Structure 1
Amino acid sequence: MYYISSVIVVFIGLSYAAVPLYQLICTETGLDGTPITSPGHKFEPESMFPVPSGRKLKIRFDSSTSDQMKWSFTPQTEELTVVPGETALAFYTAYNPTEEDVVGISTYSVVPAKAAQYFNKIQCFCFEEQRLESKEEVDMPVFFYIDPEFVNDPWMHDVHTITLHYTFFRSKTQ
């Protein structure tokens, strides 16, 4: 009975640890389109210079909202063309058409997932609560660059377009 009880306790503990472990694995490996944010992988100012021989990449912007979120949320620009190492700035617009103040929070993904490790956001509104008053509209910036190492990775030769997708959810803390 002690062995069976200990196995049950271990599995219950693992189920509680599953979400933080999954997030840790995703941020360390770039799994599931999650950009790598571990130390040594964050943006370094000395690497933010366009690669002279780098090929141009199309960066597409996409957005959505959850079913519970009644905001209008759209990118101001549908696509930009950049070379690895070049910094770029894009904006998304969020509008709250409801009669109540709403707090939202966004998540993002990078497609194709294998390119996520090279997509570096310098400034972003993701994972931060955004409060929009009734009928309020705001512009939200995304300042980013593609790591220059993208050019040297043989697995990236077939990548010509990268899509940055944001989804807004109603905050649970509201």
Structure 2
Amino acid sequence: MTTIEHNSRSASTNKKTMLWLVGGGLAMLGMSFAAVPLYDMFCRVTGYGGTTQVAEANGKGIIAREMGVRFDASVEPGMPLKVVPARLETNPIGTISTVTYLATNLTDEPLRTTASFNVTPAQTGVYFNKIECFCFTEQVIPANSTVEMPVTYFVDPDLDENSELRTIRQITLSYTFHDS
């Protein structure tokens, strides 16, 4: 093999290697942008990490087993908002219920907020369904005002069929309010 043939093959090999590296880098960059929506979709489908479900209604009925639902709220540090969660409710599983959080804007300006949420124990997320929730959209709270923030939910009766959750008697729905 002559030096020219060797250099030509090396250049061709280097070009292929460079194309693979650039292509791999672009694929990794694309996957990094897709990771958040894919992870969010995975959590919503599986209830992973306490992610709740969204439903239009409870088509499975009500069962005799009761479940307590405790409500919790926290506010991003430095945010001028006071939130009072709803009180503990205990209902037969499958019961559709509406509770109300109270949010007070402590400033002289309108306040925009969004709320992130989860349930604990995390394994119950796939069974906790929200029909309506203030957390689905951004909320605008007028200056120096208190507003009601309703949540309509039910616990899916299929929870009773999960042997790992037989001892669970209470679920906690937590919201963290963020400045938007």
CA distance in 2, matches of 1:44, 1:92: 21
Q: 1:164 to 1:44 in 2, by over 3 A?
A: same
CA distance in 2, matches of 1:132, 1:90: 18
CA distance in 2, matches of 1:27, 1:76: 24
Give 1 or 2 for the bigger CA radius of gyration.
2
Higher helix share: 2
1:11-67: CA deviations, max 9, x gaps?
111111111111111111111111244xxxx344432x321xx32211100001112
1:108-148: CA deviations, max 9, x gaps?
10111111111111111113111012101101111111111
Contact 2:58 2:94 in 1 (8 A): no
- Give the 3-state SS of the residue equivalent to 1:138 in structure 2: strand
TM-superposed deviation, 1:80: 0.7
CA distance in 2, matches of 1:166, 1:146: 17
Identity %: 34
Aligned to 2:94: 85
Q: Which consecutive aligned stretches of 4+ in structure 1 deviate over 2 angstroms post-superposition?
A: 42-47
TM-superposed deviation, 1:68: 4.4
Aligned to 1:6: 23
1:77-103: CA deviations, max 9, x gaps?
1x1111111122211000001122111
Aligned to 2:150: 141
Aligned to 2:83: 73
Structure 1 counterpart of 2:66, one-letter code? K
TM-superposed deviation, 1:163: 0.1
TM-score (norm. length: structure 1): 0.87
- 1:17 counterpart = 2:40: no
Aligned to 2:178: 169
Structure 2 counterpart of 1:145, one-letter code? F
- 1:46 counterpart = 2:59: yes
- 1:107 counterpart = 2:116: yes
Question: 143, 167, 173: which one pairs with 1:158?
Answer: 167
Give the count of matched residue pairs.
163
Structure 2 counterpart of 1:46, one-letter code? G
What RMSD in Å do the two structures reach over aligned CA positions? 1.4
CA distance in 2, matches of 1:10, 1:76: 46
TM-score (norm. length: structure 2): 0.85
